[in-house]
Structure 1
Amino acid sequence: MPRQESKRLDESSNPLIDNTSRRLPGWSVLAFLVVAPLIGLAAFWLLPERTNLIVLAAFFGAGLLALLIAVLPLGRDAPAALGLRSVGWRPVVFAVLGTTVLSFVVSQLGPQPEGVRQVTEGIEGVQALETLAVLGLLAPITEELVFRGLLYGWLAGRWNNLVAFVLSSLAFAAAHTEPLHILLVLPLGFWFGWLRWRTGSLVPTIVAHIINNTIAVAAATFLSP
């Protein structure tokens, strides 16, 4: 059997490798870029109070709603276009273990970002649970759907998976705005991007991202002096 054909067969049987991509139209990205700020501004204006956590909840909630509106015209093709497909348990476990190790290594490289400290400092009880819900659940789901779902899907269809991997990872890191935070999440951004590329699915990255954020927020909330 020729070497190239053998390689293709090996990759097709490997649950960690899926190089197929579904084209996501550019108008979906444009719609998101137009709708997200409008919803965000409206939500911010309507907020009864503007604590850091409430503003973050409104921000990520607006992003999630804008994304749903942007892909709504795709109908039943929307989940597949965003990379929401089942891949089995092995890629998910691999993603979680890799993320845990990488996150621990990154956490040793620098102090806690100021933005995270401001949100998690001095909270307890119900506030702690609310923080976990926003930063440990809503934030990672929204970020994965936007950066490795919408943006990655469009870039992969418009150019290729390598371009999608690099640009979506850089955009994910840049979106954290604070220089220290950007540097700390950049390795995770490339790791999540690689998982998206190799599995063809958002499921491993969403699960790993949720667990990573939950552990990070819990540690910052309950273990910080």
Structure 2
Amino acid sequence: MAGIAAWTFAQTLRGVASAQTAPDLPITVAISLVATAISALIVYYFRRSANAVERRASWRALWHPASFGWIATAILACTFFSASISKFAQHAGIDLTPTNQAFAQIIASHPIAVVVFAVLIAPAYEELLFRRVLFGRLWAAGRPWLGLALSSLAFALVHEPPGLGASRGWGMLLLWSVYAVMGGLFAWIYRRTGSLWTAYLAHAGNNLVACAALMAGP
């Protein structure tokens, strides 16, 4: 909200008519990404920052041979589940239009920017917020399954805010299930490997597959 207000104010100072001061889609996406990044970093550094010992252990765990197998498994599972839900919705006549479909309108004109944000930047701060902070706090408290459930639910709601997306009813529930399963898989491999890097790479790989699908689409 602060970012959009600042943009509108800056446009007004430039003499742009009030009816034209609202940011267009690429600017809105950029503002949302920056805002979420700032929020995630603030929460991480004040509530769940890693010390030097944890960072070294996480880096070593990433290079364990099994870690890359789990990363690949998570990417394949996310892709298969998303495709299955999409196919089911199409067969059942359910509107399944995700909020991030907006990227399809941007990726043709700004492919590099979209890929950098979606594949490299967004997974980084989302993993810090949802897995390291939300899931990690309950994991450390001895309640990993509760942490997995709550962080996955929050992950789904942030990606598909109720009432703001194009889908309604069953479509919204199906989209929530897709994101909740993704969040659950990322949390699971984080706990399984002991490295947040594995969750980040699985998340980045999943987003890369999604971007490739958008680029290959009609």
Same fold (TM over 0.5): yes
Q: Residues 45, 205 of structure 1: CA spacing in aligned structure 2 closer, same or farther, 3 A cutoff?
A: same
Per-residue CA distance 1:172-213 (angstroms, 9 max, x = gap)? 122222524312222222111111222222110101101110
2:97 to 89, 101, 113: 113
Deviation at 1:122, TM superposition (A): 6.4
Alignment check: 8 A CA contact 1:196 1:202 kept:
yes
Residue 172 of structure 1 aligns with which residue? 155
The separation in 2 between residues aligned to 1:122 and 1:88, in whole angstroms, is 33
The residue identity in structure 2 corresponding to 1:88 is L
Residues 1:135 and 2:124 aligned together: no
Please say if residues 156 and 183 of structure 2, whose CA atoms lie closer than 8 Å, have aligned partners that are also in contact: yes
Q: 2:62 — aligned with what? A: 88
Counterpart in the other structure of 1:38 = none
Q: 1:54 to 1:159 in 2, by over 3 A?
A: farther
Provide structure 2 residue ranges, at least 5 long, that are not aligned to the other structure: 12-21, 91-95, 166-171
- Computed over aligned residues only, the root mean square deviation of the Cα atoms, in angstroms, reads 2.6
May I ask how many residue pairs the two structures share in their alignment?
180
User: Percent identical across equivalent pairs?
Assistant: 25
**Alpha-carbon distance between aligned partners in 1 of 2:67 and 2:23, rounded to the nearest angstrom:** 36
Counterpart-to-counterpart distance in 2, 1:73 and 1:44: 26
Tell me if the contact between 1:132 and 1:218 (Cα under 8 Å) persists in the aligned partners.
Answer: no
1:202 counterpart letter in structure 2: L
The answer for the alignment partner of 2:3 in structure 1 is: 43
Structure 1 unaligned residues grouped into runs of 5+:
1-40
Q: Which amino acid in structure 2 is aligned with residue 165 of structure 1?
A: L
Aligned-pair distance for 1:160?
2.1
Query: Taking structure 1 as reference, are residues 158 and 53 closer, same or farther at Cα in structure 2, changes over 3 Å only?
Result: farther
